[in-house]
């Protein structure tokens, strides 16, 4: 999986950062796809600077209905339609998302030439496509807001073919059955338990993408044991009270959550427009003092899991 950050500013864009949007490129060999998490104003313009275009996006996950996470959605939908894209698009998000999209299309005299599905979520599993599960977890923000936990299904363990050959099993169709954990009977009457020749399942990657939030108990549920955690660090530690009063988190709180959740890496984003490059470096230093594996997201940064 790859994350491509299209916008990393919170509230309003700056000269160097657009508002929130993150692409997730699913690089699975047999079931690839491109998903989008949030769609702030100007997201389709950011896409023009990448190798992606709206027609590649199959699913969009909206964390909440604040404009810096949502206002780019009508334009992206319309551009997708005007480009003649026929592939279906499914959008997930809190209650009110359907009204927003349908009203924007109706009042602007717009339409879609592709199947558009809007799923208003209330938490829990919102998708299982056979390879991965997406779970929405409620957070603490003035508007109904969710984070999304993406978990790849565990992959089957590998078959120890050399050990089977040494045990007298001829390579062929039996190997597939043994890899599936079956017990087979050989021509000489011996039984072979496939489970004894298959390694433990390979754990799938786990990713948590937070919406805006102040600290809350469900945040730990969302982030527990993930390989990568994307979390807002809107304000520095010294402004923590102000951040929390507006439903946001400080650097210290994001780093402590990453540490307590046992996350592999913390990717910081959603920076207040008050911070320039030097200011963001200060935010990074504050996080790394608590959680060393912290990194700043920048517009168009690519993070690989």
Place of tokens 């039996």: 174
Contacts of 105 (CB under 8 A, 6+ apart): 74, 77, 78, 111, 112
> Active-site residues: which are they?
68
The answer to whether the beta carbons of residues 211 and 145 sit under 8 Å apart is yes
Distances (CA, A) of 116 to 47, 109, 295: 20, 16, 35
Phi, then psi, of 182 in degrees rounded to 5: -75, 160
Pick from 275, 305, 293, 270: nearest CA to 63: 270
The answer to whether the beta carbons of residues 108 and 74 sit under 8 Å apart is yes
Secondary structure letter of residue 172 according to DSSP? S
Beta bridge partners of 2: 25, 304
The answer to whether the beta carbons of residues 39 and 27 sit under 8 Å apart is no
């Amino acid at each position: 999986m790859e994350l491509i950050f299209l916008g990393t500013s919170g509230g309003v864009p700056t000269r160097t950062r657009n508002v929130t949007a993150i692409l997730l490129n699913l690089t699975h060999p047999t079931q690839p796809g491109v998903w989008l998490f949030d769609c702030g104003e100007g997201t389709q313009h950011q896409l023009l600077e990448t190798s992606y275009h709206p027609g590649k996006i199959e699913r969009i996950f909206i964390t909440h209905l604040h404009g810096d996470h949502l206002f780019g959605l009508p334009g992206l939908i319309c551009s997708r339609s005007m480009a003649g894209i026929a592939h279906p698009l499914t959008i997930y998000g809190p209650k009110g998302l359907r009204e927003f999209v349908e009203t924007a299309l109706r009042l602007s005299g717009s339409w879609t030439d592709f199947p558009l599905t809007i799923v208003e979520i209330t938490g829990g599993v919102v998708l299982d496509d056979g390879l991965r599960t997406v779970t929405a977890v409620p957070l603490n923000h003035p508007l109904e807001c969710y984070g999304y936990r993406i978990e790849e299904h565990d992959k089957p363990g590998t078959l120890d073919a050399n050990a089977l050959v040494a045990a007298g099993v001829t390579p062929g169709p039996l190997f597939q059955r043994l890899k599936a954990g079956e017990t087979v009977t050989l021509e000489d009457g011996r039984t072979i338990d496939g489970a004894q020749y298959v390694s433990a399942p390979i754990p799938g990657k786990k990713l948590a993408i937070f919406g805006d939030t102040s600290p809350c108990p469900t945040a730990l549920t969302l982030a527990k044991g993930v390989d990568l955690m994307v979390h807002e660090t809107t304000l520095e530690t010294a402004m923590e009270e102000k951040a929390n009063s507006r439903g946001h988190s400080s650097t210290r709180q994001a780093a402590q959550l990453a540490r307590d959740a046992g996350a592999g890496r913390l990717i910081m984003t959603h920076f207040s427009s008050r911070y320039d490059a030097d200011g963001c470096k200060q935010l990074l230093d504050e996080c790394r003092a608590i959680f060393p594996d912290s990194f700043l997201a920048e517009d168009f940064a690519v993070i690989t899991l």
